[in-house]
């Protein structure tokens, strides 16, 4: 058999993989081997000579998915995947815009704003325009701008019939002007810019259309309108689009995803083949039956029913708790039982609809001494110390970047207050120059703003020293010379931040090493991303194209010396890939996350919590059209995460926003056939055996009784510290080596202490 990787595929999967050259829609249910089909399809196309690695484009939503695809592909085929156009929408657009920045009207070193950068840019703009932030909240402005762009609309194209919208439109317009001035691009702009570039520039578009004869899209149900239009533009007459998705797992409508794209795709591309992958390799029958029955309540589905060749398995366990605390206590007990059965903690997940629910669960797990990991906190490149360091680096790369300058002009504090800043901004505006340039004039001008002059001089020195240095050394130098290191050294909570800054240097070293490895393969650098260098037989047309028709993009970035290119590439990397969510991967710990975050993952056992009206489905979903259906799809996603065992629980009352809320049982539970559910414990039965939990009169005693013997620390525990004396544990955070507790001391106030280091003794 010529295609060994086709082995082990079921008939539908195989049909999808070996489809002829035509556009197709693959409806891939949860756990049906979607990623496998997608990657095997690519391997098949290449192996059978229907496509070259160069001639296909594969799009995903997350960097993780793109990496996964690349990893699997290189395991299947001995090809160099690094130069291939496999990536996220944003990553690929970035690549396009870097290569053709001049045609796109962007500077070679344009910087990318993440959402928090964008928000501060908007706040700054609102102040400059004297727009009332009460009436036009920055967040709302941000949403207005982004959702307009996601629909493919520029400010001029927005329909504004009322004064409010007209003002929004005005801000939108000014915002884009500001970005252009400062040489920065937000996420939505990456897409819109490259869309506009491709639709305006016929030669360029035709070039890419001729190149990409196959376009493969993952998670197609999550595409927004602009992304779909972008794909349509890139798909020329001879292009086959292979779209994989699951309308039942569309849970991102709230951020612009348009499931309707699936039907439109069928129509627009005259799709002959809709292949359904319905065989599920993940879950036992009862779990799938529950998911199928639930999702059946949605209207307008493309239609799909999951099945498995495995048995029905265990029933779904349903637990009714009196309170959220009791719910948590039950989960702790069951987790311990699972652990005793030999289930790895990493294979157990606790899911919730909203982040606010995690607290109670964390407390219970902590008290029980069960290690846990919460997904969804700050990520590496979002940390303030990292953003500060990156802002200095951005200023080295591009002097126009006012946002970066404002971030660090007085951090660490160097005596530049609001007044001198205002003067600087006025001066810059008057002369029509960037803040950086205005600051430099203060150096030349001599007296006046000496603090600002010193700052500008420091930046100049920074640039000077970094010039020609390898990237990691540049960063090291910036961290020291900017005073960031000193600042965090003198701050009492600064140790961790220093460590992160150190980690930034390591990350840069790793990044450079990886890129050098690519380069030595004779590949495209990530910056130009695939243009300019002849690699395989198709490339000479491309090289000719780049130098004859659109030489500028390439030539100018190639003319940059290596360290500068490295810096730019690293800044892009930092913006586009905010870093791993997991702090301590590989550590045996129960996984806590929202249902959204669980999409794409699977676990042996899943606890699905908070099945109460108002929480799940969430109250706020009621206003939105299709809101309830999206909540139901969310529930569907949650159920299908479980391989073997699924627990569903709800609480009769729970603490929410500082007060008790009494929720009815979620309607979703009525939509699951009763015979699939087994009530494991009524509230009364459970509270009788664990009566301490239900006793509201003695919460401290209740908590104490819950503490596992294997953990000496829990809430209400009286402790003693050699320096601070006697106190009581009032809060906790983290687990394992990173566990910290907050102790309220009798005479020394409250302190956060790392359990690993603090010499605490139980009393």
Partner DNA sequence: ACTACGAGACTTTTT
Partner DNA sequence: GTCTCGTAGT
Select 521 or 660, whichever has its Cβ closest to DNA: 660
Using rule CB under 7 A, residue 751 touches DNA: no
Using CA of residue 215, residue 221, residue 227, residue 229, what is the dihedral sign? positive
Using rule CB under 7 A, residue 416 touches DNA: yes
Beta bridge partners of 26: 244, 275
Measured between its terminal Cα atoms, the distance across the chain in Å is 71
Select 240 or 753, whichever has its Cβ closest to DNA: 753
Whole-angstrom distance, CA of residue 734 vs CA of residue 756: 12
Residue of 219, 324, 362, 523 with catalytic role: 219
In the region spanning residues 562 to 601, those forming contacts with DNA, defined by CB under 7 A, are 576-578, 581, 593-594, 596-597
User: Could you say which of 1, 270, 418, 444 contacts DNA (CB under 7 A)?
Assistant: 418
Residue with tokens 């982004």: 146
Count the Cβ atoms, other than its own, within 10 Å of residue 245.
Answer: 24
Using rule CB under 7 A, residue 618 touches DNA: yes
User: Could you say which of 5, 85, 187, 603 contacts DNA (CB under 7 A)?
Assistant: 187
The CA–CA distances, whole Å, from 718 to 370, 588, 707, 729 equal 20, 28, 13, 7
Please name the residues in contact with 71: beta carbons below 8 A apart, sequence gap of 6 or more.
Answer: none
User: Could you say which of 31, 55, 91, 449 contacts DNA (CB under 7 A)?
Assistant: 91
Select 476 or 631, whichever has its Cβ closest to DNA: 631
Count the Cβ atoms, other than its own, within 10 Å of residue 740.
Answer: 18
Residue 12, both tokens? 């539908």
Select 252 or 436, whichever has its Cβ closest to DNA: 252
Using rule CB under 7 A, residue 655 touches DNA: yes
CB 634 within 8 A of CB 627: no
Question: What DSSP assignment string belongs to 219-235?
Answer: SGGG-BHHHHHHHHHH-
**Is there a cis peptide before residue 617, judged by omega within 30 degrees of 0?**
yes
Select 432 or 658, whichever has its Cβ closest to DNA: 658
User: Could you say which of 499, 624, 670, 756 contacts DNA (CB under 7 A)?
Assistant: 624
Strands 85-88 and 718-721, sheet pairing? unpaired
User: Could you say which of 4, 8, 21, 115 contacts DNA (CB under 7 A)?
Assistant: 115
Beta bridge partners of 56: 214
Residue of 12, 14, 34, 323 with catalytic role: 34
* Minimum gap (Å) between residue 687 Cβ and DNA: 22
Nearest to 752 by CA among 492, 517, 548, 534: 492
Using rule CB under 7 A, residue 296 touches DNA: no
Select 356 or 458, whichever has its Cβ closest to DNA: 356
Residue 6, both tokens? 């086709």
* Minimum gap (Å) between residue 750 Cβ and DNA: 11
Please report, to the nearest 10 degrees, the dihedral formed by the alpha carbons of residues 403, 406, 407, 409 taken in order: 140
Using CA of residue 545, residue 551, residue 555, residue 558, what is the dihedral sign? negative
Residue 550, both tokens? 């659109």
Select 516 or 624, whichever has its Cβ closest to DNA: 624
Using rule CB under 7 A, residue 98 touches DNA: no
Using rule CB under 7 A, residue 752 touches DNA: no
Select 446 or 658, whichever has its Cβ closest to DNA: 658
Residue with tokens 């069951």: 334
Nearest to 226 by CA among 146, 118, 122, 144: 146
* Minimum gap (Å) between residue 346 Cβ and DNA: 19
CB 407 within 8 A of CB 459: no
Q: Is 34 annotated as catalytic?
A: yes
In the region spanning residues 61 to 80, those forming contacts with DNA, defined by CB under 7 A, are 61-64
Whole-angstrom distance, CA of residue 527 vs CA of residue 224: 26
Using rule CB under 7 A, residue 353 touches DNA: yes
Using rule CB under 7 A, residue 88 touches DNA: yes
Helices (H), 154-259: 163-182, 187-200, 202-211, 225-234
Select 644 or 744, whichever has its Cβ closest to DNA: 744
Using rule CB under 7 A, residue 616 touches DNA: no
Residue of 497, 641, 643, 645 with catalytic role: 641
Select 146 or 535, whichever has its Cβ closest to DNA: 146
Beta strands across the sheet bearing 56-60: 85-88, 56-60, 214-217, 240-245, 24-28, 273-277
Whole-angstrom distance, CA of residue 40 vs CA of residue 392: 44
* Minimum gap (Å) between residue 72 Cβ and DNA: 17
User: Could you say which of 410, 454, 653, 705 contacts DNA (CB under 7 A)?
Assistant: 410
* Minimum gap (Å) between residue 715 Cβ and DNA: 11
Whole-angstrom distance, CA of residue 232 vs CA of residue 195: 10
* Minimum gap (Å) between residue 129 Cβ and DNA: 15
Residue of 150, 186, 189, 218 with catalytic role: 218
User: Could you say which of 413, 430, 710, 747 contacts DNA (CB under 7 A)?
Assistant: 413
Whole-angstrom distance, CA of residue 743 vs CA of residue 720: 9
Using rule CB under 7 A, residue 492 touches DNA: no
In the region spanning residues 360 to 389, those forming contacts with DNA, defined by CB under 7 A, are 376
Element (H, E) at 215: strand 214-217
Whole-angstrom distance, CA of residue 54 vs CA of residue 39: 15
Select 51 or 179, whichever has its Cβ closest to DNA: 179
What is the size of the binding site for DNA (CB under 7 A)? Answer: 45
Using rule CB under 7 A, residue 490 touches DNA: no
CB 654 within 8 A of CB 664: no
Using rule CB under 7 A, residue 39 touches DNA: no
Select 307 or 660, whichever has its Cβ closest to DNA: 660
User: Could you say which of 8, 71, 254, 674 contacts DNA (CB under 7 A)?
Assistant: 254
Q: Is 180 annotated as catalytic?
A: no
Residue 487, both tokens? 């600042």
Q: Is 219 annotated as catalytic?
A: yes
From the list 164-172, 250-258, 639-647, 749-757, the region that binds DNA by CB under 7 A is 250-258
From the list 36-44, 279-287, 415-423, 604-612, the region that binds DNA by CB under 7 A is 415-423
Using rule CB under 7 A, residue 620 touches DNA: yes
Whole-angstrom distance, CA of residue 136 vs CA of residue 132: 6
Using rule CB under 7 A, residue 354 touches DNA: yes
Per this entry, what is the length of the chain? 763
Using rule CB under 7 A, residue 230 touches DNA: no
* Minimum gap (Å) between residue 255 Cβ and DNA: 4
* Minimum gap (Å) between residue 213 Cβ and DNA: 25
User: Could you say which of 4, 303, 417, 522 contacts DNA (CB under 7 A)?
Assistant: 417
Three-state SS at 297: coil
User: Buried (b) or exposed (e) across 461-500, using 16+ Cβ within 10 A?
Assistant: ebeeebeebebbbbbbbbbebbebbebbeeeeebeebbeb
Residue 474, both tokens? 């540049």
Strands 240-245 and 24-28, sheet pairing? parallel
Select 222 or 333, whichever has its Cβ closest to DNA: 222
Using rule CB under 7 A, residue 696 touches DNA: no
Residue of 249, 323, 594, 690 with catalytic role: 249
526-555 footprint of DNA as x/- string (CB under 7 A): ------------------------------
From the list 155-163, 227-235, 347-355, 693-701, the region that binds DNA by CB under 7 A is 347-355
Using rule CB under 7 A, residue 232 touches DNA: no
* Minimum gap (Å) between residue 488 Cβ and DNA: 14
Residue 462, both tokens? 């920074």
Burial class (CB in 10 A: 0-12, 13-18, 19+), 252: buried
Active site residues: 34-35, 218-219, 249, 641
Query: Which residues bind to DNA, rule: CB under 7 A?
Result: 61-64, 88, 90-91, 114-115, 123, 138-139, 187, 251-252, 254-255, 353-356, 359, 376, 410, 413, 415-418, 576-578, 581, 593-594, 596-597, 618, 620-621, 624, 627, 655, 657-658
């Amino acid at each position: 058999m010529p295609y060994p990787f086709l082995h082990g595929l079921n008939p539908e999967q195989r049909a999808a993989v070996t489809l002829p050259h035509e556009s197709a829609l693959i409806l891939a249910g949860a756990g049906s081997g979607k990623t496998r089909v997608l990657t095997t399809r690519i391997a098949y196309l290449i192996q059978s000579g229907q496509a070259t690695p160069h001639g296909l484009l594969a799009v995903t939503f997350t960097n993780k998915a793109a990496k996964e695809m690349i990893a699997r592909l290189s395991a299947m085929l001995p090809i160099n995947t690094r130069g291939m156009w496999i990536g996220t929408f944003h990553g690929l657009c970035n690549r396009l815009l870097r290569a053709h920045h001049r045609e796109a009207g962007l500077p070679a070193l344009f910087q990318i704003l993440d959402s928090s950068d964008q928000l501060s840019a908007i706040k700054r703009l609102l102040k400059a325009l004297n727009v009332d932030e009460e009436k036009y909240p920055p967040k709302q402005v941000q949403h207005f701008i982004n959702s307009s762009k996601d629909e493919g609309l520029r400010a001029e194209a927005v329909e504004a019939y009322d004064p409010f919208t007209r003002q929004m439109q005005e801000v939108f317009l000014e915002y884009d002007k500001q970005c252009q001035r400062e040489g920065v691009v937000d996420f939505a702009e990456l897409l819109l810019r490259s869309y506009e570039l491709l639709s305006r520039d016929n030669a360029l578009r035709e070039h890419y259309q001729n190149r990409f004869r196959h376009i493969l899209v993952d998670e197609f149900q999550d595409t927004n309108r602009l992304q779909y239009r972008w794909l349509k533009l890139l798909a020329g007459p001879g292009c086959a689009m292979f779209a994989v998705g699951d309308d039942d797992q569309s849970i991102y409508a709230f951020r612009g995803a348009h499931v309707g794209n699936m039907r439109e795709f069928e129509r627009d591309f005259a799709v002959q083949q809709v292949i359904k992958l319905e065989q599920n390799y993940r879950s036992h029958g009862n779990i799938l039956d529950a998911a199928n029955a639930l999702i059946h309540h949605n209207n307008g589905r493309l239609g799909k029913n999951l099945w498995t060749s495995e048995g029905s398995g265990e029933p779904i366990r349903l637990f009714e708790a009196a309170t959220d605390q009791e719910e948590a206590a039950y989960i702790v007990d069951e987790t311990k039982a699972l652990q005793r059965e030999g289930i790895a903690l990493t294979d157990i997940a606790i899911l919730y609809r909203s982040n606010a629910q995690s607290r109670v669960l964390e407390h219970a797990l902590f008290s029980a001494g069960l290690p846990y990991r919460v997904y969804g906190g700050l990520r590496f490149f979002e940390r303030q110390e990292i953003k500060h360091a990156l802002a200095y680096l951005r200023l080295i790369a591009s002097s126009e970047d006012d946002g970066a300058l404002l971030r660090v002009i007085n951090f660490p504090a160097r005596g530049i207050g609001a007044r001198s800043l205002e003067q600087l901004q006025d001066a810059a505006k008057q002369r029509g120059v960037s803040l950086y340039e205005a600051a430099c004039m203060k150096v030349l001008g001599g007296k006046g703003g000496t603090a600002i002059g010193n700052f500008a001089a420091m930046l100049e020195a920074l640039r000077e020293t970094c010039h020609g240095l390898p990237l990691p050394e540049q960063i090291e130098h910036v961290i020291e010379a900017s005073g960031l290191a000193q600042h965090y050294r003198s701050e009492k909570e600064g140790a961790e931040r220093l460590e992160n800054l150190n980690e930034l240097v390591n990350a840069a070293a790793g990044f450079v090493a990886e890129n050098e490895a690519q380069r030595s393969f004779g590949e495209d650098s990530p910056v130009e991303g695939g243009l300019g260098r002849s690699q395989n037989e198709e490339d000479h047309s491309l090289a000719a194209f780049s130098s004859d028709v659109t030489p500028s993009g390439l030539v100018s970035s190639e003319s940059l010396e290596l360290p500068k290119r490295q810096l730019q590439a690293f800044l892009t990397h930092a913006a586009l890939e905010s870093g791993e969510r997991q702090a301590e991967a590989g550590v045996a710990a129960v996984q806590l996350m929202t249902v959204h975050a669980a999409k794409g993952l699977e676990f042996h056992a899943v606890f699905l919590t908070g099945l109460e009206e108002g929480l799940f489905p969430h109250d706020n979903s009621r206003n939105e059209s299709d809101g309830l259906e999206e909540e139901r799809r969310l529930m569907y996603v949650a159920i299908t995460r479980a391989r073997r065992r699924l627990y569903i629980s709800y609480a009769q009352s729970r603490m929410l926003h500082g007060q008790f809320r009494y929720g009815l049982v979620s309607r979703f539970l009525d939509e699951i056939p009763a015979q699939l559910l087994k009530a494991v414990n009524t509230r009364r039965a459970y509270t009788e055996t664990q009566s301490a939990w239900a006793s509201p009169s003695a919460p401290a005693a209740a908590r104490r009784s819950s503490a596992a013997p294997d953990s000496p620390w829990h809430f209400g525990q009286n402790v003693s510290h050699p320096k601070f004396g006697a106190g009581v544990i009032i809060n906790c955070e983290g687990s394992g080596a990173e566990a910290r507790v907050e102790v309220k001391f009798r005479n020394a106030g409250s302190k956060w202490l790392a359990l690993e280091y603090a010499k605490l003794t139980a009393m």
